[in-house]
Amino acid sequence: MTPGVYVLEYHLVNYKRTWRGSALSSLVIPLLTMVGFGLGVGSYVDQGIDGASYLDWIVPGLIASTAVQSAIGEATWPVLGNFEWLKVYFAQAAAPLRVADILGGHLAFMIFRVVTSAGVFLVIAALFGSLHSWWAPLTLIASVLAALAVAAPTAAYSATVTTDSYLAILLRFAVLPMSLFSGVFFPVESLPVLLRWVAWVLPLSHGVELSRDATLGRAPGWAGLWHVVYLLAWCAAGWWIAHRRFRRRLVV
């Protein structure tokens, strides 16, 4: 096995002790959002969007948004804590592990958390009858791409700061606006032109579009390829920046 697998194993062993704390929220949050937004708000929407009911239209956006928020949750306080409070990264760096192994193993664990949370959401959406294509499982791949596109640069940011006050700033001025204006709850096209361009710069909007194509059975076409390439570019750039930040702090 590659050394990064051992880092992943470390995080999985820790998660084995704490998974019960997140299991309930992973089940309750999809139920509340689908009932509250999909059925509650949807009952006030006279017509659907793009030929789909509001519930069916919003579900893929909620799945992608949940995946991204799950990844950001793992890439903020846990990363900062492993540097500042628990010193886990420094202990791993003292072992025969490269910076790429430490970073890659933790990002792999973040992907695991994203797949499990998005998978639960997908199952609940199926129970609500909101999936209309056999391509719906591809939503998990779209969620992983979108999540990794934000997790890597977020980990880089968390490796740069020394207090969690900066993490609150990130959530308030970056994560929250991205969740609201990336086409999760309403079409990006309904935004003013300037905000529309901002939305398309954010990676979540591309993950939402890919997820929506999968659950509604729409052919993504060349736009789908562009979404994938754009998210991969975010992943690559985020990895490069995060690797530099981790290396600066771990390699003396």
The overall average pLDDT reported for the chain is 90
Task: Provide the pLDDT confidence category of residue 24 given band limits of 50, 70 and 90.
Answer: low
**Dihedral pair phi/psi, residue 196, rounded to 5°:** -65, -40
**What is the residue-wise DSSP string for the chain?**
--HHHHHHHHHHHHHHHHHHHHHHHHHHHHHHHIIIIIIIIGGG-SS-BTTB-HHHHHHHHHHHHHHHHHHHHHHSHHHHHHHHTS-HHHHHHHSS--HHHHHHHHHHHHHHHHHHHHHHHHHHHHHTT---STTTTHHHHHHHHHHHHHHHHHHHHHHH-SSTHHHHHHIIIIIHHHHHSSSSSS-GGGS-HHHHHHHHHSHHHHHHHHHHHHHHT---HHHHHHHHHHHHHHHHHHHHHHHHHHHHHH--
| pLDDT, position 142 | 96
CA dihedral sign of residues 127, 130, 135, 139: negative
The reported pLDDT for the residue numbered 251 is: 86
Tens of pLDDT, residues 32-77: 777 777 677 766 675 668 778 888 898 999 999 999 999 999 999 9
Name the pLDDT band for 129 (thresholds 50, 70, 90): confident
**Dihedral through CA 109, CA 110, CA 112, CA 114, nearest 10?**
170
When pLDDT is cut at 50, 70 and 90, the band that residue 96 belongs to is: confident
The yes-or-no verdict on residue 107 having pLDDT over 70 is yes
The strand pairing partners of 52, in sequence order, are 49
Per-domain residue ranges of the chain: 3-250
Q: Note the pLDDT tens digit of each residue in 201-212.
A: 999 999 999 999
Give the distance, in angstroms, between the CA of residue 155 and the centroid of all CA atoms in the same chain.
12
Quick check: pTM over 0.85?
yes
Ranges 11-20, 52-61, 65-74, 238-247, most confident: 238-247
